[in-house]
Amino acid sequence: MTPIAEQLLGRIHQGRARAGVVGLGYVGLPLAVEFARHGLTCTGIDLDDRKIAAIARGESYIPDVPSEDLRALLAARRLSATTDFSVVAELDTINICVPTPLRKTKDPDMSYIVSAVEAIAAHLHPGMLVVLESTTYPGTTEEVVQPLLERGGLKAGVDFFLAFSPERVDPGNGTFHTRNVPKVVGGTTPQCAEIACALYGTSIETVVPVSSPRVAEMVKLLENTFRAVNIGLVNEIALMCDTLGIDVWEVVDAAKTKPFGFMPFYPGPGLGGHCIPIDPFYLSWKARQYGFEPRFIELAGHVNGAMPQATVDKIADALNVQKKALNGARILVAGIAYKRDINDVRESPALDVMGLLHQQGARVCYADPYVPTLPARSWLGGHELESLPLDASTLAGIDCVAILTDHRSFDYDTLVAAAPLIVDTRNAIKQTHPHVFKLGAPQPAHAATWLPAPASDEAA
């Protein structure tokens, strides 16, 4: 180990290292808090001054990070946040957690990584550790990040240390969070790996070293491709079950009793979030550069990408049973976040479903306690929407409720009692009812003859 590496390692082990995190979103803020909680002084850097101001006020905008934790760390001077990259000059380590979206062409958009790395490079100094955490294609750390950092003359593995460590955060997961999810780490040299492992070792229970950044990058893409492909498989099985008149939810529940060789995945209205719909395409893009055609990824993309339309078809079929048309129907979407109990609508399939419904002439509204408003630009309807309360008075004016996200706080009993028609894409309603249609399941018994209870004023 070189003296410069020993120095940094010593500071990390003694809790004297000054850590930095670039990009304070769903990944970066929990990581910065975790570093600060476990003895490092951590500075967060983000271009979004509203986030920096919120942190300074001790107000968390990430549901998994309690504001009290932020306030305690700010008061103890263990955590601070800024938009100014010049602080990098005083830091020992920096973790990069910026977005990695796709371009419209489904090619990787590396602009956030490039701009963050260029800003770091301007203040890079000998003895510093840089770790990329953003999900990206194999080769990014060595092919994109390393040359940008080395432009100033310092050499990775010699003057500074470089590694990749994928983030595995699962927003809203009450059991697994930043500290207790094992962290895979690949360094550009064994020394880089050792230092990066030491950094994570301060704050994360289990660190899993691998032989290179490329392997670590691939690990993350395997994990997310595994999910995308299995969700694609179960979505196809759901559509098959629909056609065959079999309830896919019952099938999956029974299949998962097998104690080995099976893992349950569930169908739904489509993929959402910043990871599963996007990351596999980083891998297929890279594979194609080498002339390799990644068929599973493409097929899963097709199946999952067709689920919003399959959901709209299900809604149209259900309305049809009640002798109503989609055109002009008042449809309330219950849950627009991409998954249960979170506020993230990025890539949410609900937005696609709402757009498709709107295009078919339906009058669309929504209820989501986690998403109070939906800006006009976020969906095809072209106007801003506000979340409605999911109560009897809202439901009185609705033709169909489409459950697209099964938030735990929804009152499903009220929904079943007050909605004239429900299309449930998440199996949120366990019992069968003649007016509850499920994605991937046959039409409910007596659906054709079921009549909603008359509204109270009509009954009078």
Ligand X SMILES: NC(=O)c1ccc[n+]([C@@H]2O[C@H](COP(=O)([O-])OP(=O)(O)OC[C@H]3O[C@@H](n4cnc5c(N)ncnc54)[C@H](O)[C@@H]3O)[C@@H](O)[C@H]2O)c1
Output DSSP code: residue 376: G
Coil, strand or helix: which one is 242? helix
Closer to ligand X at the Cβ: 268 or 420? 268
Q: Does 135 bind ligand X (CB under 6 A)?
A: yes
Closer to ligand X at the Cβ: 99 or 355? 99
Q: Does 112 bind ligand X (CB under 6 A)?
A: yes
Tokens of 169: 């955060």
Closer to ligand X at the Cβ: 18 or 363? 18
Q: Candidates 34, 42, 44, 46: give the one binding ligand X (CB under 6 A).
A: 46
Catalytic residue among 197, 275, 365, 400: 275
The residue of the chain with the least Cβ separation from ligand X equals 25
Q: Does 44 bind ligand X (CB under 6 A)?
A: no
* Degrees, nearest 5: CA angle 127-129-131: 165
Closer to ligand X at the Cβ: 46 or 352? 46
Closer to ligand X at the Cβ: 226 or 450? 226
Contacts of 205 (CB under 8 A, 6+ apart): 179, 180, 182
Q: Does 275 bind ligand X (CB under 6 A)?
A: yes
Q: Is 450:434 a contact under the CB 8 Å cutoff?
A: yes
CB of 115 to ligand X, least distance (A): 4
Residue 324, Cα to own-chain centre: how many angstroms? 36
Q: Does 409 bind ligand X (CB under 6 A)?
A: no
- Burial label for 457, CB within 10 Å (0-12, 13-18, 19+), is exposed
**Helix 279-289 × helix 213-244 angle, to 10°:** 120
Place of tokens 């180990």: 1
- Residues in 4-43 that interact with ligand X by CB under 6 A: 22-28
Place of tokens 């003057």: 159
Coil, strand or helix: which one is 221? helix
Q: Does 172 bind ligand X (CB under 6 A)?
A: no
Q: Does 92 bind ligand X (CB under 6 A)?
A: no
Q: Does 167 bind ligand X (CB under 6 A)?
A: yes
Number of Cα atoms under 13 Å in the Cβ half of residue 251: 19
Closer to ligand X at the Cβ: 146 or 224? 224
Q: Does 314 bind ligand X (CB under 6 A)?
A: no
Around Cβ 59, how many Cβ atoms within 10 Å?
A: 12
Q: Is 149:136 a contact under the CB 8 Å cutoff?
A: no
Counting every residue, how long is the chain? Answer: 460
Around Cβ 288, how many Cβ atoms within 10 Å?
A: 12
Q: Candidates 79, 87, 169, 401: give the one binding ligand X (CB under 6 A).
A: 169
How many residues of this chain bind ligand X (CB under 6 A)? 27
Closer to ligand X at the Cβ: 5 or 116? 116
42 is catalytic: no
Q: What is the 3-state secondary structure (H, E, C) of 327-339?
A: CCCEEEEECCCCC
- Residues in 47-86 that interact with ligand X by CB under 6 A: 47-48, 51
Q: Does 171 bind ligand X (CB under 6 A)?
A: yes
CA distance 294 to 282: 11
Q: Candidates 73, 116, 353, 371: give the one binding ligand X (CB under 6 A).
A: 116
CB of 123 to ligand X, least distance (A): 13
Among the residue ranges 4-12, 164-172, 234-242, 292-300, the one whose residues contact ligand X (CB under 6 A): 164-172
CA distance 33 to 207: 18
Q: Which residues are catalytic?
A: 275
Residues at the site binding ligand X, with contacts judged by CB under 6 A? 22-28, 45-48, 51, 97-100, 112, 115-116, 134-135, 167-169, 171, 274-275
